[in-house]
Amino acid sequence: MKIKTICCIGAGYVGGPTMAVIAKQCPEIRITVVDINEARIAAWNSSNLDELPIFEPGLADIVKETRDKNLFFSTDIDKAIDEAEMIFISVNTPTKTYGKGKGMASDLKYIESCARQIARVAKQDKIVVEKSTLPVRTAAAIKSILDNVGNGVQFQILSNPEFLAEGTAVQDLLNPDRVLIGGDESTKEGKEAVQALVDIYAKWVPKDNILTTNVWSSELSKLTANAFLAQRVSSINAMSEICEKTGADITEVSKAIGMDSRIGPKFLNASVGFGGSCFQKDILNLVYIAKSYGLNEVADYWEQVIIMNDHQKNRFSDNIVSTLYNTVSGKKITFLGWAFKKDTNDTRESAAIKVADNLLNEQAQIEVYDPKVTEERIYTDLDNLKTRSSEENKNLLTVQSDPYRACKNSHAIAILTEWDEFKNYDWESIYKNMQKPAFIFDGRGILDKALIENIGFTYYKIGSGN
């Protein structure tokens, strides 16, 4: 079976870039990405490529090449479902904020609503692909809805989790370490569906890197991968605190352990804490799944990754307060960076949000500069915490579009995101314009300690005991 039409429900961080890359690599497939969010679809269709809803290096060029040729963005969901042979579900699966499993389980209401819509609209057999990250065994629920609500057409359900990281989405999609496809290979139709998706990826991904498994293994592998990655960050962050107490340096420790080929050098950067829309949500989901099977030791083991991450954010802000003579009330503190990592405008679960909230509780005056995050986004992130009124947040925190102005007259600079441009600032001039003593709290360990201390700064680097 050669797929000629695809519909992707959900034009977000995953749906948009993933479909753009498939459209680029498979010009013979017509792809429609749909969303209920009209503003988002309008932004994807904007003639000004700077206005795409998602910033990812290399993405605008691919959208320019494919849009309105074989890649379309639309709000007409029924039409796109009706026309497609294969439908990717790429909607959000946030942590539940209500009811049973509140604060832990994934909220599957968007997934269920997609399944019901597909069942209602579909008049021909379809392959439905789970692209969203889902609790293991969700495919069974989707199948039950499709089979019971549908018009008697046949549905094959595949799991095809996405492993792209933000900031490198296009590169990750063009050169994935592996593509994972879970399907029911016990039936002829199941086998054909798996093969149809394999054939799409095989256009640019080497066959050996396309892995097929049963559906449950595929669903669980996605949660497992994120749990292992986040655990690495929490592990190195736990060691960063020991380094600070003992005079060791986490950069040296990371290098030393990373040269062991069994450990490997990647994902060993100590930080102010991991953020992003996935790690916390997916581990909480894993913890919830483990608890629901009565596996309490397993649940506690993974929950510790989150506990450590919360601790890392809190101890960063605590250290700022105690270093600034136990009070930051009325003091200007500059935040360089708000995004959860460099090269993205995404701020979901960014450590900066928690660190800012803690410091605002101490009545600090914060000025933020981030090269890609909008002022509106920053205030929304703070307001969503509901710690204080929106008016108070606006009084206590200012967003600057110029980093030098953000640093002027400041008592301390906190580096929250590892944007490359921060390394090349004129730190001498920044120092001259700051209150003295001038402090830098480097939550990403990106500045050159000797150079910065030579200028006169008091420099704290996460994980450095010297």
Ligand X SMILES: O=c1ccn([C@@H]2O[C@H](COP(=O)(O)OP(=O)(O)O[C@H]3O[C@H](CO)[C@@H](O)[C@H](O)[C@H]3O)[C@@H](O)[C@H]2O)c(=O)[nH]1
Q: Under the rule (CB under 6 A), what is the footprint of ligand NAD?
A: 9-15, 34-37, 40, 77, 90-93, 110, 113-114, 132-133, 162, 164, 166, 277-278
x-or-dash pattern for ligand X, window 189-208, by CB under 6 A? --------------------
Residue choice 158, 278, 399, 440 for contact with ligand X (CB under 6 A)? 278
Site for ligand X in 312-371 (CB under 6 A): 340-341
Does 268 engage in binding with ligand X (CB under 6 A)? yes
Residues labelled as active-site residues: 278
Contact partner, 14, from ligand X, ligand NAD, none, Cβ < 5-8 Å per class: ligand NAD
Closest to 355 measured CA to CA, from 308, 305, 318? 318
Residue choice 8, 164, 321, 353 for contact with ligand X (CB under 6 A)? 164
Q: Find the residue with minimal CB distance to ligand NAD.
A: 12
Distance in angstroms (rounded) separating the CA atoms of residues 450 and 104: 44
**Shortest distance in whole angstroms from residue 55 CB to ligand NAD:** 13
Contact partner, 341, from ligand NAD, ligand X, none, Cβ < 5-8 Å per class: ligand X
Write down the residue that tokens 């969503």 correspond to. Answer: 384
**Shortest distance in whole angstroms from residue 207 CB to ligand NAD:** 23
Distance in angstroms (rounded) separating the CA atoms of residues 323 and 302: 32
Distance in angstroms (rounded) separating the CA atoms of residues 3 and 131: 17
Alpha-carbon torsion angle 218, 219, 220, 226, nearest 10: 100
Nearer to ligand X, 340 or 459 (CB): 340
Alpha-carbon torsion angle 98, 14, 278, 287, nearest 10: 60
Take residue 171 and report the two structure tokens written for it.
Answer: 């590169």
Rounded to a whole number of angstroms, the CA Rg of the chain reads 24
β-pairing, 30-34 vs 5-9, is: parallel
What contacts 457, CB < 8 A, 6 or more positions away? 427, 431, 438, 439, 440
Closest to 26 measured CA to CA, from 80, 78, 86? 86
Helices (H), 346-402: 351-361, 375-385, 390-396
**Shortest distance in whole angstroms from residue 267 CB to ligand X:** 4
Interacting stretch for ligand X, rule CB under 6 A, among 265-273, 379-387, 392-400, 407-415?
Answer: 265-273
**Shortest distance in whole angstroms from residue 91 CB to ligand NAD:** 4
Nearer to ligand X, 127 or 278 (CB): 278
Contact partner, 229, from ligand X, ligand NAD, none, Cβ < 5-8 Å per class: ligand X
Site for ligand X in 98-137 (CB under 6 A): 133
Closest to 361 measured CA to CA, from 329, 332, 333, 314? 329
**Shortest distance in whole angstroms from residue 277 CB to ligand NAD:** 5
Residue 347 in marked binding region: no
SS3 category, 181: strand
The binding site for NAD(+) comprises 10-15, 35, 40, 91-95, 132-133, 166, 278-281, 348
Q: Where along the sequence are the contacts to ligand X (CB under 6 A)?
A: 133, 162-166, 226, 229, 233, 267-269, 271, 274-276, 278-279, 340-341
